[in-house]
Homo-oligomer: A and B are copies of this chain.
Amino acid sequence: MSRVPGRHFLQIPGPTNTPLRILSAIALPTIDHRGPEFRILALDVLERIRHVFRTEGPVVIYPASGTGAWEAALVNTLSPGDRVLMAETGHFATLWSRMAERLGLDVELIPGNWRSGADAEAIGARLAEDRGHTIRAVAVVHNETSTGVASDIAAIRRAIDRSGHPALLLVDTISSLASIDYRHDEWGVDVTVGGSQKGLMLPPGLSFNAVSEKARAAARSARLPRAFWDWEDILAANRTGYFPYTPSTNLLQGLRVALDLIAEEGLDAMFERHLRAAAAVRRCVAQWGFEIQALDPGEASPSLTAVRMPSGHSADQLRSGILDRSSVSLGNGLGRLADRVFRIGHLGDFNDPALLGTLAAIEMGLSANSVPHRSGGVEQAMLALAERKHPSVLAAE
């Protein structure tokens, strides 16, 4: 195999490019998960991870990838046959609903067009109808990674409140955590599901449940069988700085550094950085003459952009050519969007030249693959970036 020179650009919407400081921390020797050094590590990350979710409550850390944290949110709070209201925002919302069905829940899926966020009004209306409170939980994906559409969780909270319905609110923030403004406590979320491999800039392998008091109360009567995912065992052990079973020690060593990096940059600066990048990507895509998957610009995700291919052209052929020639990985279309969109990840650890290099590689790929487009996309992206001061410049002013 001939070598492809240069650093790879991992511009899928997660896993994201892991900073070397984090990779170095992960490569430190494994430590005794029952020893005093581990205890210091665990107490530190358990304390500080809460800030990322903007919660004062506990965050459960699983030695498992994000899909596991979906399952944890369900099995801790619900009982066989419980009704869950979900919104079909795209591929991942659909997968989560299928998981709920397989676990024996009664899923009511509000249909969607995979181009819009969850409809807060529709959720509120459905809850209002549900006088008997048969719906036990509303489960929504904050940032649908398959479509690049973000849902307005605060609005959903308001709609639930207006309906006066006691349903739990479960939110997947796997591709938004630490990239898009999110407030577990303020928005009254009961379980927030997160993963390590996106905005947290870690490899995959850790996942999270931020849990409200109401969620923990629900867990006490929930009857879906659970053991590995059980919150209370973990939280009890966490109080002393340990875990009930072997944690992912090396990823926790990486998490400590990730939390340092987040503190150094600042969550608000991170959010603005993602918004600024997203604006540049959209300006570029518009110049090319392509549509993005999000119908409402106000819902377009700050952390990724799904670009619709002109009909008759294969997104996967385009991606494959760009990967071979330019060593840039882009996200593929998932489910019904297979081969019809490509997804540009602009989340995690990146800067302007990485973003512009990515867009340039795509623009060159469009030409190389004879996909009709207007050139000048990268130049438009540069203009968009110039219009909006870089957060680090703002910070220095």
Question: In the assembled complex, how far is the CB of residue A267 from the closest CB belonging to chain B, in whole angstroms?
Answer: 12
B350 touches A226 (CB 8 A): no
Query: A66 contacts which chain B residues (CB < 8 A)?
Result: 245-246
Q: Is A314's beta carbon under 8 Å from chain B?
A: no
B63 touches A205 (CB 8 A): yes
A227 touches B71 (CB 8 A): yes
A17 touches B29 (CB 8 A): yes
Query: A361 contacts which chain B residues (CB < 8 A)?
Result: 352-353, 356
Q: Is A290's beta carbon under 8 Å from chain B?
A: no
B225 touches A102 (CB 8 A): yes
Q: Is A323's beta carbon under 8 Å from chain B?
A: yes
Instruction: Look across to chain B and name the residue whose beta carbon is closest to the beta carbon of A35.
Output: B329
- Report Cα–Cα, A29/B270, bound state, in Å: 21
- Report Cα–Cα, A9/B351, bound state, in Å: 10
Query: A203 contacts which chain B residues (CB < 8 A)?
Result: 30, 248-251
B29 touches A23 (CB 8 A): yes
B353 touches A246 (CB 8 A): no
Q: Is A31's beta carbon under 8 Å from chain B?
A: yes
Question: In the assembled complex, how far is the CB of residue A155 from the closest CB belonging to chain B, in whole angstroms?
Answer: 29
Contact with B along A1-30 (1 / 0, CB 8 A): 111111111101011111111011011111
Stretch touching chain B among A51-59, A121-129, A156-164, A384-392: A384-392
Question: In the assembled complex, how far is the CB of residue A264 from the closest CB belonging to chain B, in whole angstroms?
Answer: 4
Name the interface residues of A366-397: CB closer than 8 Å to any CB of B.
Answer: 367-368, 375-376, 378-379, 382, 385-386, 390, 392-393, 395-396
Contact with B along A246-257 (1 / 0, CB 8 A): 111111000000
B30 touches A353 (CB 8 A): no
Q: Is A133's beta carbon under 8 Å from chain B?
A: no
- Report Cα–Cα, A102/B357, bound state, in Å: 46
Query: A15 contacts which chain B residues (CB < 8 A)?
Result: 30-33, 246, 249
Q: Is A325's beta carbon under 8 Å from chain B?
A: yes
B368 touches A3 (CB 8 A): no
- Report Cα–Cα, A331/B36, bound state, in Å: 13
Instruction: Look across to chain B and name the residue whose beta carbon is closest to the beta carbon of A28.
Output: B20
Instruction: Look across to chain B and name the residue whose beta carbon is closest to the beta carbon of A264.
Output: B3
Q: Is A47's beta carbon under 8 Å from chain B?
A: no
Q: Is A44's beta carbon under 8 Å from chain B?
A: no
The verdict on A29 contacting B8 (CB below 8 Å), with A99-B227, A382-B364 known, is: yes
Query: A395 contacts which chain B residues (CB < 8 A)?
Result: 2
B354 touches A265 (CB 8 A): no
Instruction: Look across to chain B and name the residue whose beta carbon is closest to the beta carbon of A327.
Output: B351
Contact with B along A321-358 (1 / 0, CB 8 A): 00111111101100000000000000001111111111
A325 touches B392 (CB 8 A): yes
Q: Is A220's beta carbon under 8 Å from chain B?
A: no
Q: Is A176's beta carbon under 8 Å from chain B?
A: no
Instruction: Look across to chain B and name the residue whose beta carbon is closest to the beta carbon of A273.
Output: B5
Q: Is A34's beta carbon under 8 Å from chain B?
A: yes
Q: 9 A-B residue contacts at CB 8 Å?
A: A2-B265, A4-B392, A18-B29, A24-B27, A65-B248, A67-B246, A98-B227, A103-B225, A197-B246
**6 closest cross-chain pairs (CB), A and B:** A6-B351, A357-B357, A353-B357, A3-B264, A27-B27, A356-B360
